[in-house]
With several copies, the nearest count.
Chain A
Amino acid sequence: MAELKQLEVCLCGIPFKNPLILASGTCGYGLELRDYIDLNRVGGISVKGLSLQPCKGNPMPRIVETSAGLINAIGLENVGVNDFINNILPDLKKFDTVIIANFWGKSIEEYVEVARLLDASDIDMLEMNVSCPNIKEGGISFGTNLKQLENVTNSVKKIIKYKPLIVKLSPNVGNIATFAKAAENSGADCISAINTILAMSIDINTFKPRIANVTGGLSGPAIKPIAVRMVYEIYKSINIPIIGLGGIMNYMDVLEFFLVGSKVVQIGTANFINPDNALNIINDLKDYLNDKKIKNISELTGKIVV
């Protein structure tokens, strides 16, 4: 029992039994994993990004492996927010873990509407994915344009009554700290960083991109040093808590993200390689904290020595 306490953290008023969240897009809607791991043991689950209407996603191929990385362009395929709330969430709520609803839209109105529905539902937190283009504004991405990010964050925050709002930042910007600051100023309760990095791979036999969508997002260990640097930059410039992610494969990676300022972390691509990874990391973190006689993992947040 005492042991377990070492991993407890509180994020925006929500208690987590441990700071390991399964990242959006890498654990389906959670239920897909129930035959493989005990979902009650993970700190939280961020479900596949939800939109107002169901979305079929991109054509195939959608994934390709690179050196220590994975490019994906799933195209945000999802069942739609209503189907999720009505047909998936009730089963998901049976597990004792924090449910985070990752969501997106093609216009501010869509973001707002999805957020309103989720806020009224049984989920615990909202995570806004701003990596998609604003169709109404000619395709300018919400996540790589400061003004758009402020607008969408302000608008969503205004409509939400009950649940904390996490804004998940895109790494495809020059200075991610200014985007974090803008999100904070526009009402975000928490930042998660990073999403995938725009990337590309070419099939030298066919001369075609290896992803039908031409470009995709790079995740996995390859991007970890970039993600750690970005979390560090964000931590120095905002006061709201940070969920760090990008290439975490083991407990040592988790510690790196804590030291540069994460309060909680997410595990993405690592779930594909072995769905036990999250649970193994939780065990290893416990051992580490015991070994070092650290009372609570939060003591490590931001404790980099520079």
Chain B
Amino acid sequence: MAKSKIIYNKKINDNYFTMSISASSETLKAKPGNFIMLKTNKNNLVYDPLLRRSFAVSDIEEDNIVITYKVIGKGTLGLTYLRENDIIETSGLLGNYFNCSLNNKRIAIIAGGIGIAPFPLLVKRLTKKNNFIDLYYGGKSKNDIVLLDKFKEVDNIFITTEDGSKGKKGLITDYINREYEIAFVCGPNPMMMHSIYKLNETCEIEVSMEERMACGIGLCMGCIVNLREETMKNKKCCKDGPIFNGRKVVWQNLNN
């Protein structure tokens, strides 16, 4: 666990924030899809929230890593109170990462809500390699569509919101009807499941799973993901993931 300095903690809108924290040279080697865990308050004598919270590395800026977070409950609310120069405890790099050594590929990036978080870094690594990239990005409402300035280099951006306040009205998965060689998906489980169903059969699919985590390093067995063809062995989202082959995930076993 390292102590990191907050470089900035900016409000994007009422629910979304972006925070930049100083990082070690190790952490700066983050690959797209890697995540870190954060203690969400500064007071070392209090234990509520108890556990650290997980966040994808969203971008790297000079010697700092950037996360993008949505305020959900007490932990993320706690993050919003932190300010420039505050010191917080972080752990990571954690987990595996997206396959980003791709050239000349037709790529779909599919994000639901805060599922957009890992993709700025991914896009940085994929562009300028002759890849063709479509970004599909859905949210409940216009406030759920953030970070668009980070995706200037992608070829097409499709946006939907459930209430139609930005982009097309509807679910983003309804708009997937081109063929791709590989797709990267991050969002709520039902949305990820549905994406798989909509993508062409020849398309490789990498999903980033969000399971509740206690430890983030394989100690607690709280974050299990089951894969088809490996039925006798549970995978740990934190250690073996968070990136999995979407076609192998047994979605039924994730009733949350």
Q: Answer whether A275 and B219 are a contact pair too, CB < 8 Å, given A67-B46, A77-B234.
A: yes
Is B71 in contact with chain A by the CB < 8 A criterion? no
Q: How far is A249 from B213 in the complex, measured between Cα atoms in Å?
A: 19
Is A269 in contact with chain B by the CB < 8 A criterion? yes
Whole-angstrom distance between the Cβ of A37 and the nearest chain B Cβ = 10
Contact flags B87-109 to A (C-beta < 8 A → 1, else 0): 00101000000000000000000
Q: List, in ascending order, chain A residues with CB within 8 A of B254's CB.
A: 60
Q: How far is A233 from B195 in the complex, measured between Cα atoms in Å?
A: 41
Is A284 in contact with chain B by the CB < 8 A criterion? no
Taking a contact as CB atoms under 8 Å apart, the answer to whether B234 and A28 are in contact is: no
Q: List, in ascending order, chain B residues with CB within 8 A of A91's CB.
A: none
Is A32 in contact with chain B by the CB < 8 A criterion? yes
Q: How far is A275 from B52 in the complex, measured between Cα atoms in Å?
A: 12
Is B215 in contact with chain A by the CB < 8 A criterion? yes
Q: Answer whether A74 and B255 are a contact pair too, CB < 8 Å, given A68-B47, A275-B217.
A: no
Taking a contact as CB atoms under 8 Å apart, the answer to whether A62 and B224 are in contact is: yes
Most chain B CB atoms below 10 A, which of A77, A249, A273: A273
Taking a contact as CB atoms under 8 Å apart, the answer to whether B222 and A273 are in contact is: no
Taking a contact as CB atoms under 8 Å apart, the answer to whether B46 and A63 are in contact is: no
Taking a contact as CB atoms under 8 Å apart, the answer to whether A36 and B224 are in contact is: no
Is B25 in contact with chain A by the CB < 8 A criterion? no
Q: How far is A77 from B255 in the complex, measured between Cα atoms in Å?
A: 18
Taking a contact as CB atoms under 8 Å apart, the answer to whether A60 and B52 are in contact is: no
Q: How far is A74 from B212 in the complex, measured between Cα atoms in Å?
A: 13
Q: List, in ascending order, chain B residues with CB within 8 A of A62's CB.
A: 221-222, 224
Q: Answer whether A28 and B50 are a contact pair too, CB < 8 Å, given A56-B234, A60-B254.
A: no
Taking a contact as CB atoms under 8 Å apart, the answer to whether B47 and A220 are in contact is: yes
Q: List, in ascending order, chain B residues with CB within 8 A of A208's CB.
A: 255
- How many residues of A are in contact with the other chain, CB < 8 A? 38
Instruction: Please tell me which one of the listed residues A56, A57, A68, A276 contacts residue B232 in the complex, with CB atoms under 8 A apart.
Output: A56
Taking a contact as CB atoms under 8 Å apart, the answer to whether A271 and B221 are in contact is: no
Is B1 in contact with chain A by the CB < 8 A criterion? yes
Is B214 in contact with chain A by the CB < 8 A criterion? yes
Q: How far is A274 from B38 in the complex, measured between Cα atoms in Å?
A: 11
Q: Answer whether A28 and B222 are a contact pair too, CB < 8 Å, given A60-B211, A60-B256.
A: no
Closest A-chain residue to B53, C-beta based? Answer: A65
Is B12 in contact with chain A by the CB < 8 A criterion? no
Whole-angstrom distance between the Cβ of A41 and the nearest chain B Cβ = 16
Is B51 in contact with chain A by the CB < 8 A criterion? yes
Is B220 in contact with chain A by the CB < 8 A criterion? yes
Is B218 in contact with chain A by the CB < 8 A criterion? yes
Q: How far is A61 from B146 in the complex, measured between Cα atoms in Å?
A: 29
Contact flags A244-265 to B (C-beta < 8 A → 1, else 0): 0000010000000000000000
A30-82 at interface with B (beta carbon < 8 Å): 32-33, 36, 48, 54, 56-57, 59-65, 67-70, 72, 74, 77
Whole-angstrom distance between the Cβ of B242 and the nearest chain A Cβ = 14
Q: Answer whether A60 and B50 are a contact pair too, CB < 8 Å, given A32-B219, A72-B214.
A: no
Taking a contact as CB atoms under 8 Å apart, the answer to whether A28 and B255 are in contact is: no
Taking a contact as CB atoms under 8 Å apart, the answer to whether A74 and B47 are in contact is: no
Contact flags B166-193 to A (C-beta < 8 A → 1, else 0): 0000000000000000000000000000
Is A212 in contact with chain B by the CB < 8 A criterion? yes
Instruction: Please tell me which one of the listed residues B46, B51, B219 contacts residue A27 in the complex, with CB atoms under 8 A apart.
Output: B219
Whole-angstrom distance between the Cβ of A210 and the nearest chain B Cβ = 8
Q: List, in ascending order, chain A residues with CB within 8 A of B52's CB.
A: 273
Closest A-chain residue to B254, C-beta based? Answer: A60
Q: How far is A64 from B220 in the complex, measured between Cα atoms in Å?
A: 12
Q: How far is A229 from B13 in the complex, measured between Cα atoms in Å?
A: 38
Q: How far is A32 from B217 in the complex, measured between Cα atoms in Å?
A: 8
Is A296 in contact with chain B by the CB < 8 A criterion? no
18 residue pairs A–B, Cβ–Cβ below 8 Å: A26-B220, A28-B221, A32-B217, A32-B219, A33-B219, A48-B221, A57-B221, A61-B211, A62-B221, A63-B214, A63-B220, A65-B50, A67-B47, A70-B51, A70-B214, A74-B221, A77-B234, A221-B48
Q: Interface on B for A, CB 8 Å cutoff? A: 1, 39, 46-52, 89, 91, 211-215, 217-224, 232, 234, 253-256
Task: Add 12 more A-B contacts to A68-B48, A269-B50 (CB < 8 A).
Answer: A32-B218, A59-B255, A60-B211, A67-B46, A67-B48, A69-B50, A74-B221, A272-B51, A274-B89, A275-B1, A275-B215, A275-B217
